[in-house]
Amino acid sequence: MADCGPEVLTRYGALRGAAADGVAAFLGVPYARPPVGALRFRPPEPVEPWEGVREAAAFGPTAPKRPYAPPLDALLPDPEVAGDGCLNLNVWAPWDGGGPGAGLPVMVWIHGGSLVHGSSAVPVYDGTAFARDGVVLVSVNYRLGIEGFGVFPDAPANLGLRDQIAALTWVRDCVAAFGGDPGRVTVFGESAGAISTAALLASPLAQGLIHRAVVQSGAPVALPLDRARRTTRAIAARLGVPATAEAFAGVDRDGLLAAQTEVTGTGSPLTGGHAFQIAVDGEVVPRDPAEALADGASAAVDLLMGTTTEEYRLWFVPSGVTDRVGPLVQRLLLRKAKVPSRTARVYRAGRPGEKPGEILGALATDKLLRVPLNALADARLRAGADAGTYLYEFGWRSPVLDLGACHALELGFVFDTLDLPETRALTGPDAPRELAAAMHAAWVSFAATGDPGWRRWDRSRPVMTFGPGLPSVVKAPREAERRAWEDRVRRRESRQVAAG
């Protein structure tokens, strides 16, 4: 019966959720007003208080989006919930029958999806296991695509990031009602969610809202406004309207999503093309997040970062890129991506049995993810940050379509949701439960104590590897490849010094 569900009282009104097996779930909770009408393309406005008890037993509306294109649509479930009030969140909390706990660690999940896909309703992100283990888990929806990350002359940039900050403000103000400690909040995200997390760590508007952070398969990156607005202009040209928020607000939403998909469908982080990116706007993101974090932003925030071993395989294998790329095409793409020939030779020498497409993918994984994350860890170490920095790598290989240790594979392990069919679409039916238990426990420990269970980053560069068998701490892998990238960085810095 709905009237028997658990209830909490927040500063905005009462909520009624659902409870089972010691966990209460409050779903579709608004943290800001619906971004429609006059509020479309505007910063989020605080939610209006309500009277009575609001039912919170079903996921709220998702942000406007299109499904993943085949074949990724079969691997990455992306449910759509209709409605205008997409600025909502979900809370899972321990519940002993009499009410919530108190002073519990809080984790806030920011989903990935290239800033155009995803939502908090993805079943893989179910927060039950975190609540079972003493964490209040919050997952957030935010505006996507042109409505969340378009760059206009007549509207603020980074509206999706502003939504995330509004959600974190709600957490600060309301999470105690669910048993959470607003002074012990860990923000974690994967892919675009990790990029968002890094930007939030560098944002003055989010200071004090984040106490620990986990960055999974995404690196600190943002574009200058002029470059970030190119995607908006390309969509405007496709639609035949001015590149203004006022003009876009008058476009049919289905037509807008169709044009957005056509413009961004062929973009690639390695070779370029149109895609939505976080913008250096001078306010939410005053400067490049990588530079800000290296210079000490969020130095007091404990940081856990990492990648999967073969990130690229999620895109390269199902699309056939690994088989289509030959030596000549590989060289052309590496030249376009400005990868030095010396670095490429090191990779070829160290991977003698791999196809040119696989070597290209390994280079892309390191260039876009592993190298920037290692550089940030080194910068925090040099700065003598008081907070801990920890690195991991997820190396268990999925047998599905020979995806291997691909992008997003670790998510079902982190959330301990291996039994769900949506997780098994990527992992297959026989993923090791003991590995999920170990990885999930590390994330819980990090949220609770700031220590995931292995040595923090130091000059020996320890990396926790989650792979077949028990996880183990190893020296940072692929030393020759790492040194090749570092040699490139040193040569570039030497040229800059010589140039004055």
Residue 269: what pLDDT?
59
Tens of pLDDT along 52-75?
999 999 999 999 999 999 999 999
Per DSSP bridges, beta strands 104-110 and 472-475 are unpaired
Tens of pLDDT along 239-281?
999 999 999 999 989 999 999 999 998 765 555 679 999 999 9
Average pLDDT over residues 32-49: 96
Average pLDDT over residues 451-459: 95
Cβ atoms of 31 and 18 within 8 Å: the answer is no
pLDDT at 298 over 80: yes
Please name which of 336, 241, 228 lies closest in space to residue 274, comparing C-alpha atoms: 228
Tell me the residue length of the chain. Answer: 500
Cβ atoms of 2 and 164 within 8 Å: the answer is no
Cα separation, 18 vs 1, in Å, equals: 9
Per DSSP bridges, beta strands 212-216 and 223-224 are unpaired
Residue 1: what pLDDT?
36
Cα separation, 209 vs 106, in Å, equals: 11
Residue 374: what pLDDT?
95
pLDDT at 114 over 60: yes
Average pLDDT over residues 135-163: 98
Q: Give the residue with greater pLDDT, 138 vs 349.
A: 138
Q: How confident is the model at residue 493 (pLDDT cuts 50, 70, 90)?
A: very low
Give the contacts of 36 (CB within 8 A, at least 6 positions apart): 84
Q: Give the residue with greater pLDDT, 494 vs 340.
A: 340
Residue 163: what pLDDT?
98
Residue 339: what pLDDT?
86
Q: How confident is the model at residue 497 (pLDDT cuts 50, 70, 90)?
A: very low
pLDDT at 334 over 80: yes
Per DSSP bridges, beta strands 23-30 and 18-20 are antiparallel
Q: Taking all residues of the chain, what is their mean pLDDT, rounded to a whole number?
A: 92
Cβ atoms of 40 and 247 within 8 Å: the answer is no
Strands (E), 149-193: 180-190
Average pLDDT over residues 311-332: 91
Q: Give the residue with greater pLDDT, 270 vs 38.
A: 38
Cα separation, 279 vs 471, in Å, equals: 37
Tens of pLDDT along 339-382?
888 888 999 999 998 999 999 999 999 999 999 999 999 999 99
Q: How confident is the model at residue 488 (pLDDT cuts 50, 70, 90)?
A: low
Minimum mean pLDDT range among 76-90, 266-280, 442-456: 266-280
Residue 476: what pLDDT?
59
N-to-C CA span, the chain: 73
Tens of pLDDT along 469-484?
767 776 556 667 767 7
pLDDT at 7 over 50: yes
Residue 275's φ and ψ, nearest 5 degrees, are: -160, 160
Cβ atoms of 254 and 260 within 8 Å: the answer is no
Per DSSP bridges, beta strands 13-16 and 7-10 are antiparallel
> In the chain, pLDDT over 90 holds for what percent of residues?
82
Tens of pLDDT along 372-414?
999 999 999 998 878 999 999 999 999 999 999 999 999 999 9
| Active-site residue list | 191, 311, 407
Tens of pLDDT along 407-443?
999 999 999 999 999 999 999 999 999 999 999 999 9
Residue 100: what pLDDT?
83
